[in-house]
Amino acid sequence: MMRQYELVERVRRYNPDTDEALLNRAYVYAMRAHGTQKRASGDPYFSHPLEVAAILTDLRLDDATIVAALLHDTIEDTATTRAEIDELFGAEIGALVEGLTKIKKLDLVSKQAAQAENLRKLLLAIAEDVRVLLVKLADRLHNMRTLHYVPEVKRNRIAEETLEIYAPLAGRMGMQAIREELEELSFRQLSPEAYRTIVGRLESSRERHIQAIAEIEAQLTKKLADNGITAEVTGREKRPYSIWRKMERKTVGFEQLSDLIGFRVIVGELAECYRTLGIVHTTWPMVPGRFKDYISTPKQNGYRSLHTTVVGPGRQRVELQIRTRGMQDVAEYGIAAHALYKDGNSAYERLSSDTQAYGWLRRTIELLAEGDSPEEFLEHTKLELFHDQVFCFTPKGRLIALPRRATPIDFAYAVHTDIGDTAVGCKIDGKISPLVSELQNGSEVEIITATGATPPAAWESVVITGKARAAIRRATRAAIRAQYAGLGRKLVERAFERAGKPFDEPRVIASLHRLARTSLEDALAAVGRGELRANDVIKAVFPEWTEDVSVPQQQRRQPEPITEAGWFALARARSVKFKVPGHGAVSPAGPAIPIRGINGDLPVRFAPDGGAVPGDRIVGILTPGEGITIYPIQSPALKVFDDEPERWLDVRWDVDGQERHRFPARLKLTSLNEPGSLAQIAQVIGERDGNIDNVRMSRRSPDFTEVTIDIEVFDLKHLNAIIADLRAKSVVSSVERYNG
Ligand code: MN
C-alpha cells in the first residue's frame, strides 16, 4: 500500500504549492474511518481510495480532487457525515464527496426506465462539478483492475455498465488512456472467448509485428531527422478490443485486418505536424480516404491530431497519428489536461472554462431539462456517447457539431428550432440535396425554409439528435391536434345546423365547463377524435334542447369519413402501442410484439425472409385489405415498393426490455473445410446464448463450405456480438447477415 509521504510526493511533483497538511489530514481521516474494513481481495479497504487518489495524481489534479478521492467512500460505508467533512475539509470537498455518494448506488444497466433515470442523476451530479466524474472514473478504473476478486455473479454487470456508460463518458471527456483501459478490461470480462482468440492470434504474429515496428520506427525517425525534424516515434500493436470493434464495424475477419500496428509521431510544434505528414506521404503511398485533419477541426472532446494510413515497407498498412506534445497530453488526459497549461486559481475554475468536452456535457444537461421521457433521453445520450461527431458549417461560417449519421434536419434544429420546423429543403456545398442525406465532415449546409411549413412526422425516425426529435414530436402533436380540431369543427357546425341552432363561438366557449374542456380547440379536437359527441356540445349550449331520436343511432353518430390521405397522416403521426401476434414458426409461445407508429386495427406480420430483429431500422408496408408487413430497412425485398411511397409507414420497435423474446435472423458464412469447424461455429453461437434453428451447407470448393444458419437472437446487439465472435475464429473466413 502506498505510504502517506509517497502520495504527498506524487502531488508535489506537479503542484509545488500543494496543501500538504490537508492531504495528510485526509489520508489519516480516511484510513481511520475505514478502519478494519476489507476489500473482496482481502486487502485493507483503505487501499482502494488510496489507489483512486494515485490514479488522479497521474492526471495531475488539484488538491480538492485528490482529497475527495481519499474520502469518496466514507459517507456511504462508514459513520462519516457530510457535515463532518464540511467541518474538517471545507464545503467544496464536502460537496464533491456527497456528489460521489449520490451516484455510487446508481444502477446504469437495469431496466430501461430506471436506467434512464439513473443516468440522468449521474449527469446532473457531474454537471454540478465535473471533478465528480474524474473521481468516479478513477474509482471505476481501480474496481475494474481488481474485478477478478469480485464474486462471479456481479462481474458481468459491472463490466457491462463500464463498457456502456463509463468508458464512453471517459472518451467524451477526452480521457483516452482511461477509456481504453476500461474498454479492454470490460471486453475481457464480457467476451472471454473473443478476447482469448484475438490475443492468441496477435501472439502468433507478434514476431512479425515487433520486427515491423522496429523497422518503421528507425526509418521514420531517420527520414524526419534528415529533414530537420526531431520526433518521437513510437509504434504499438493495437489492443484486442479495438481490433474487435473494427471487425464488428468493417464486417471483416481477422485475416483481412491488415493494419494491426499503429504509430504515434510526437513533434515539437504545430507546423511540424504538417511537414511530417508531407514527408510520410512522399515516403510511402497513402491509403486514400483515411486522412483526417483533427487539428484544423478538433473533435468535440478537444482531441487534435493528424491521422493517416500508408502502405509501409513490407506492404502492410500502417496507421499514423501525428501531433505535438501538448496535443498528446489532451489526447491522453482530456478535460483533466487543461489544468496543465494554466496557472493560478483552482483547477476547478480552469476545468469549467469552456472546453469543448464541457460544452457537450452542458448541452446534454439542457436536453434533460427539455423534458423528454427518460427512455428517449437515454436513447439519445447513448447514441451521442457512442457516435463520433461530424462538423458542418452554416453559410455564414458558424460551426455546428453533430453526432455522426446526423442529417440536414438535425443541422437545421441545431441552428434554431424555428429553422428546423419550417425546413423544406437544403443545399449541401451549394448543391440541392435531400434533407434525409447523411452529413459529411466539413460540409457547408444551407437550409431552405418556407413560412408556415410543418415537419412531417416521418422525420422523427430519421433524425439522430434528441433536440430534433423532441421538436418534431411537439410540432407533429400540434399539427395532429389542429387536424382533429378542424374535423371536429365541421362535425359540430353541421350538428348545430341540423338542430336549427346558431353556432356562436362565444356562447360555446362560455359553456365549455359543462363539457369539462378547457378550450374551444380542445373540445373540437375531442369531437374530431370521437371522444365527444357533437350533439353533446349543442346540449351544453342549449340545455333544453333534445336530440331527435327518430334519426337512427347509426346514421346520427356516423363520423365524417377520413380521406385516405388523412388516414395516412394520422397513422404516421400517432404513436400507438400496437400488439402484434408473434411469428408462429419463430416464437412458438406466440408472444405479442409491440411496434410503435401503427394506427388501429390492421393486422401486422413480419416479412417471411425479412428476419427483422429489435434494433434494426424497420418499415411497414401497407397492403390494402391485408394489413401491414414489417421489413428491416436493408431488405432487398423492399425494392419492389420503391414506386409506391404512399404504402410506406414509419414504424418503430417498442420492446421494453422486460420480456425478452427471440427473433429470427439468418447468417451466411464461409468456413474452411477443417475437421471440427462446424462444431467450433456452433460452440461460439451457443456460448453467446444464440439458438440455432437450422443449418444448411453447400461445399463450393475443396477448401471452403458455405453455411446458412438460421438463428434466434434477442436483438441486433446480440446478433452483432455473435457475428463478431464468429469473425474472430480462424475457421471462419467470412460472415454476413442475410436479408431475403
Ligand atoms: Mn470506491
- Does the structure show a pLDDT above 90 at 114? no
The predicted pLDDT at position 624 comes to 67
Task: Please give the distance, rounded to the nearest whole angstrom, from the Cα atom of residue 45 to the centre of ligand 1.
Answer: 9
Task: Please give the distance, rounded to the nearest whole angstrom, from the Cα atom of residue 489 to the centre of ligand 1.
Answer: 62
CA–CA separation, 496 and 511 (whole Å): 15
The predicted pLDDT at position 255 comes to 65
- Does the structure show a pLDDT above 80 at 138? yes
Name which residue leads in pLDDT, 264 or 389.
264
Residues with a known catalytic role: 76-77
Task: Please give the distance, rounded to the nearest whole angstrom, from the Cα atom of residue 187 to the centre of ligand 1.
Answer: 21
Q: Within the chain, what is the greatest distance between any pair of CA atoms?
A: 104
The predicted pLDDT at position 569 comes to 41
Domains of the chain: 4-198 (1.10.3210.10), 199-337 (3.30.460.10), 387-458 (3.10.20.30), 474-560 (no CATH), 592-740 (3.30.70.260)
The predicted pLDDT at position 431 comes to 85
Task: Please give the distance, rounded to the nearest whole angstrom, from the Cα atom of residue 476 to the centre of ligand 1.
Answer: 46
Name which residue leads in pLDDT, 221 or 556.
221
Long-range contacts of 516-519 (CB under 8 A, 24+ apart): none
The predicted pLDDT at position 272 comes to 94
Q: For residue 632, what is its C-alpha cell?
A: 428491416
pLDDT in tens, 510-533: 888 888 888 898 899 888 777 788
Residue 513 is classified by DSSP as G
CA–CA separation, 408 and 437 (whole Å): 7
- Does the structure show a pLDDT above 90 at 588? no
The predicted pLDDT at position 360 comes to 57
Q: What percent of the chain has pLDDT above 90?
A: 25
Smallest Cα–Cα separation from 630: which of 615, 661, 652? Answer: 652
- Does the structure show a pLDDT above 90 at 184? yes
Task: Please give the distance, rounded to the nearest whole angstrom, from the Cα atom of residue 584 to the centre of ligand 1.
Answer: 49
Question: In 310-347, which positions are buried (b, 16+ CB within 10 angstroms) versus exposed (e)?
Answer: bebeeebbbbbbbbbeebbbbbbbbbbbbbbeeeeeeb
Least confident piece of the model among 119-133, 347-361, 608-622: 347-361
Q: What is the mean pLDDT of residues 47-75?
A: 93
The predicted pLDDT at position 370 comes to 52
Task: Please give the distance, rounded to the nearest whole angstrom, from the Cα atom of residue 379 to the centre of ligand 1.
Answer: 28
* Residue 554 pLDDT level (bands cut at 50, 70, 90): very low
Average pLDDT, the chain: 79
* Residue 591 pLDDT level (bands cut at 50, 70, 90): very low
The predicted pLDDT at position 703 comes to 77
Task: Please give the distance, rounded to the nearest whole angstrom, from the Cα atom of residue 620 to the centre of ligand 1.
Answer: 48
CA–CA separation, 608 and 664 (whole Å): 10
Selection from 260-269, 282-291, 339-348 with the highest mean pLDDT = 260-269
Q: What is the mean pLDDT of residues 342-355?
A: 42
Q: What is the mean pLDDT of residues 93-104?
A: 90
DSSP string, 322-333: EEEHHHHHHHHH
- Does the structure show a pLDDT above 90 at 275? yes
Q: Tell me if residue 523 falls in helix, strand or coil.
A: helix
- Total residue length of the chain: 740
Task: Please give the distance, rounded to the nearest whole angstrom, from the Cα atom of residue 189 to the centre of ligand 1.
Answer: 20
The predicted pLDDT at position 657 comes to 56
Task: Please give the distance, rounded to the nearest whole angstrom, from the Cα atom of residue 367 to the centre of ligand 1.
Answer: 29
The predicted pLDDT at position 258 comes to 65
Name which residue leads in pLDDT, 658 or 434.
434
The predicted pLDDT at position 546 comes to 82
Name which residue leads in pLDDT, 245 or 20.
20
The predicted pLDDT at position 514 comes to 84
H/E segment holding residue 29: helix 20-34
Q: What percent of the chain has pLDDT above 70?
A: 78
Q: What is the mean pLDDT of residues 325-333?
A: 84
The predicted pLDDT at position 85 comes to 95
Selection from 99-113, 145-159, 562-576, 591-605 with the highest mean pLDDT = 145-159
Task: Please give the distance, rounded to the nearest whole angstrom, from the Cα atom of residue 238 to the centre of ligand 1.
Answer: 30
Task: Please give the distance, rounded to the nearest whole angstrom, from the Cα atom of residue 190 to the centre of ligand 1.
Answer: 22
* Residue 650 pLDDT level (bands cut at 50, 70, 90): low
Residue with cell 404513436: 575
Task: Please give the distance, rounded to the nearest whole angstrom, from the Cα atom of residue 68 to the centre of ligand 1.
Answer: 11
Task: Please give the distance, rounded to the nearest whole angstrom, from the Cα atom of residue 70 to the centre of ligand 1.
Answer: 9
- Does the structure show a pLDDT above 60 at 153? yes
* Residue 610 pLDDT level (bands cut at 50, 70, 90): low
CA–CA separation, 179 and 188 (whole Å): 14
Which residues are within 8 A (CB) of 583 and not within 5 positions of it... i.e. 6 or more apart?
593, 605, 606, 663, 664
Is the sign of the CA dihedral 79, 82, 85, 87 positive or negative?
Answer: negative
Q: What is the mean pLDDT of residues 93-99?
A: 92
Least confident piece of the model among 18-32, 243-257, 447-461, 657-671: 243-257
Task: Please give the distance, rounded to the nearest whole angstrom, from the Cα atom of residue 670 to the centre of ligand 1.
Answer: 47
- Does the structure show a pLDDT above 90 at 301? no
Residue with cell 451530479: 125
Task: Please give the distance, rounded to the nearest whole angstrom, from the Cα atom of residue 73 to the centre of ligand 1.
Answer: 5
* Residue 595 pLDDT level (bands cut at 50, 70, 90): low
Least confident piece of the model among 111-125, 201-215, 472-486, 680-694: 111-125
* Residue 105 pLDDT level (bands cut at 50, 70, 90): confident
Task: Please give the distance, rounded to the nearest whole angstrom, from the Cα atom of residue 85 to the centre of ligand 1.
Answer: 17
Selection from 137-141, 478-482, 698-702, 706-710 with the highest mean pLDDT = 137-141
CB count within 10 Å of CB 248 equals 17
Name which residue leads in pLDDT, 659 or 538.
538
The predicted pLDDT at position 656 comes to 59
Task: Please give the distance, rounded to the nearest whole angstrom, from the Cα atom of residue 332 to the centre of ligand 1.
Answer: 23
> Which one-letter amino acid corresponds to residue 419?
I
Q: What is the mean pLDDT of residues 189-199?
A: 89
Q: What beta strand segments (E) does 597-703 contain?
A: 604-606, 618-623, 627-632, 648-650, 652-653, 663-672, 691-699
Check: CB of residue 376 under 8 Å from CB of residue 469.
Answer: yes
Smallest Cα–Cα separation from 309: which of 249, 258, 380, 381? Answer: 258
- Does the structure show a pLDDT above 80 at 202? yes
Name which residue leads in pLDDT, 305 or 654.
305
The predicted pLDDT at position 250 comes to 63
pLDDT in tens, 419-438: 999 998 899 888 888 888 88
H/E segment holding residue 426: strand 423-428
Is the sign of the CA dihedral 526, 528, 532, 534 positive or negative?
Answer: positive
Task: Please give the distance, rounded to the nearest whole angstrom, from the Cα atom of residue 31 to the centre of ligand 1.
Answer: 14
